[in-house]
């Protein structure tokens, strides 16, 4: 049995969780998040300096309350984990320094966790998680990737966005439509009343230098531009914008593209299980379309619990406990943070000589 305290501060959510691994069963004993959405909404996006300051203010109280809720004391823990890459460098530093300090003070091992590995591990918090190998569609505000998870936990990226991530596109289109930040929930709420077929919008593809297109890659910047031009055209001819139809048309195209390319990738690689994680994986249109289309192709769809789709510390703890179970060892207390680091090199976070 292993118990870990996990911290997540990669962007604008201060999150703390306590998890326990007993045998093969993961249990979330407590999970808390202090959101900064309302403060950043007035700027239309995350302001890094503000995010870092709010993490400094929120973490001490959040750690105390989460431990109290979990019924665990520091002395009951087996390790401390914190996200160290990728993300906003200043924000990451707050969580990393806090985690390493607690580990040093209480003579506990420290694990620096890759943020994307945390998202991949979030499906392990579901009631019936899949067994590898499987394909993961990681779709969030900062990332849209297709990753094959193998039998030994190895992670291989098979597809990615070459510009905007899907969640970033939601935020930018929401701003064009005058909707609140973050854009995903705002567009989903409005799209329910809209006609998803009213505006034909492009399904962006990425050209290969040698000709043709990358079959599993994504591009959402052209879609954003198409919505902008549609809005400009409508403003010139209509007194009131058909916001619900615009939102529904945009949301439908994003869902279509994600579903088509994900299932093609799973089929081509002989994978019978597809996992969806990340904030955009909470989108109901995407979930429904993926499940109905995948069923016709004999592919089972597994989603992270809704509570763990967006950034949270429980997913970081799940990734850390998986590392502990694999016997990978611990991170050096000299491990710093990095705004970017390849997921397939996350093993380096546990080397005696840290990569950063």
Question: Got the DSSP string for 209-242?
Answer: TTSSB-TT-B--HHHHHHHHHHHHHHHHH-SS--
201 contacts 248 by C-beta, under 8 angstroms:
no
Mean pLDDT of 297-311: 96
Distance in angstroms (rounded) separating the CA atoms of residues 206 and 219: 6
Please indicate, yes or no, whether residues 151 and 297 belong to a single structural domain of this protein. yes
The pLDDT confidence band at residue 199, using thresholds 50, 70 and 90, is very high
Helix axis angle for 89-105 and 48-70, nearest 10°, is 30
- Kindly provide the b/e burial profile for residues 293-323, where b requires at least 16 CB atoms within 10 angstroms of the residue's own CB: bbeeeebebbbbeeebbbbbbbbbbbbbbbb
Split at pLDDT 50, 70, 90, the class of 40 is: confident
Cβ neighbours of residue 184 under 8 Å, at least 6 residues apart? 141, 167, 170, 171, 174, 279, 280, 282, 283
Cα(116)–Cα(38) distance, integer angstroms = 25
Residue 42: band (very low, low, confident or very high) from pLDDT cuts 50, 70, 90? confident
Model confidence, pTM: 0.93
Same domain, 55 and 114: yes
Asked if residue 24 has pLDDT above 90, the reply is no
What pLDDT, in 10s, does the model give residues 59-92?
999 999 999 999 999 999 999 999 999 999 999 9
Mean pLDDT of 148-158: 94
Percent over 90 (pLDDT), the chain: 91
Residues 43 and 142 in one domain: no
Cis peptide before 86 (omega within 30 of 0): yes
Residue 237 and residue 274 in one domain: yes
Q: From CA 168, how far away is CA 223, in angstroms rounded?
A: 12
Residues 171 and 85 in one domain: no
What is residue 45's predicted lDDT score, i.e. its pLDDT? 84
Does 75 map to a domain?
Answer: yes
- Domain, as residue range, for 46: 2-121+309-350
* Closest to 317 measured CA to CA, from 12, 20, 46: 20
**CA 74 vs CA 70, 80, 200, 230: distances in Å:** 11, 10, 56, 56
Give the list of residues 6+ apart from residue 171 with CB closer than 8 angstroms, or none.
44, 45, 141, 181, 182, 183, 184
Residues 6+ apart with CB under 8 A from 57: none
pLDDT higher than 90, residue 137: yes
Q: Of 144, 92, 66, whose CA–CA distance to 349 is shortest? A: 92
**Average pLDDT score over residue span 193-197:** 97
Residue 271 reports pLDDT greater than 90: yes
Q: Tokens 């809209």 label which residue?
A: 194
Q: What is the pLDDT of residues 114-131, one digit of tens each?
A: 999 999 999 999 999 999
User: What is the domain count for the chain?
Assistant: 2
Same domain? 235 vs 340:
no
Domain for residue 355, yes or no?
no
Same domain, 78 and 143: no
Average pLDDT over residues 331-338: 98
Instruction: Say what the pLDDT of residue 193 is.
Output: 95
Sign of CA dihedral 133, 139, 142, 143: positive
Phi/psi region, residue 212 (left: phi>0; alpha: psi -120 to 50; beta: rest), is: left
How many whole angstroms separate alpha carbon 340 and alpha carbon 84? 10
Length of the chain: 356
In which band, very low, low, confident or very high, does the pLDDT at 165 lie, cut at 50, 70 and 90?
A: very high
Same-domain status, 91 and 157: no
User: Residue 344, SS3?
Assistant: helix
Residue 83: inside a domain: yes
pLDDT reported for residue 251: 98
Quick check: 43 pLDDT over 90? Answer: no
Query: What's the helix, strand, coil split of the chain in %, to 5?
Result: 45, 20, 35
Query: What's 108's domain CATH number?
Result: 3.30.420.40
Quote the CA–CA distance of 259 and 280 in Å, as a whole number.
13
Residues 73, 173 share a domain: no
């Amino acid at each position: 049995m292993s118990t870990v305290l996990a911290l997540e501060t990669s962007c604008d959510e201060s999150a703390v969780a306590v998890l326990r691994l007993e045998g093969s069963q993961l249990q979330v004993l407590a999970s808390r998040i202090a959101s900064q959405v309302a403060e950043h909404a007035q700027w239309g996006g995350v302001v890094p300096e503000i995010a870092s300051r709010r993490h400094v203010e929120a973490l001490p109280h959040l750690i105390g309350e989460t431990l109290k809720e979990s019924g665990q004391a520091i002395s009951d823990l087996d390790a401390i984990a914190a996200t160290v890459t990728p993300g906003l460098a200043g924000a990451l530093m707050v969580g990393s320094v806090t985690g390493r300090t607690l580990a040093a003070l209480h003579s506990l091992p420290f694990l620096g966790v890759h943020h994307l590995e945390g998202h991949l591990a979030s499906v392990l918090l579901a009631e019936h998680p899949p067994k590898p190998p499987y394909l993961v569609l990681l779709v969030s505000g900062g990332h849209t990737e297709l990753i094959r998870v193998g039998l030994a936990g190895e992670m291989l990226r098979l597809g990615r966005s070459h510009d905007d991530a899907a969640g970033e596109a939601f935020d930018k289109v929401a701003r064009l439509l005058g909707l609140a930040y973050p854009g995903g929930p705002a567009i989903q709420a409005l799209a329910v009343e809209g006609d998803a077929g009213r505006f034909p919008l492009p399904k962006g593809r990425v050209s290969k230098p040698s000709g043709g297109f990358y079959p599993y890659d994504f591009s959402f910047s052209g879609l954003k531009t198409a919505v902008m031009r549609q809005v400009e055209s409508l403003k010139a001819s209509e007194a009131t914008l058909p916001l619900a139809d615009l939102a529904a048309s945009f949301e439908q195209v994003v869902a279509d593209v994600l579903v088509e390319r994900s299932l093609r990738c799973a089929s081509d690689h002989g994978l019978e299980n597809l996992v969806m994680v990340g904030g955009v994986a909470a989108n109901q249109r995407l979930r429904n379309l993926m499940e109905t289309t995948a069923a016709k192709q004999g592919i089972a769809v597994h989603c992270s619990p809704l509570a763990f789709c967006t950034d949270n510390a429980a997913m970081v703890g799940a990734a850390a406990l998986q590392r502990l179970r694999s016997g990978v060892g611990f991170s050096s207390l000299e491990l710093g943070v990095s705004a970017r680091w390849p997921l397939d090199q996350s093993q380096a976070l546990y080397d005696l000589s840290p990569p950063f």
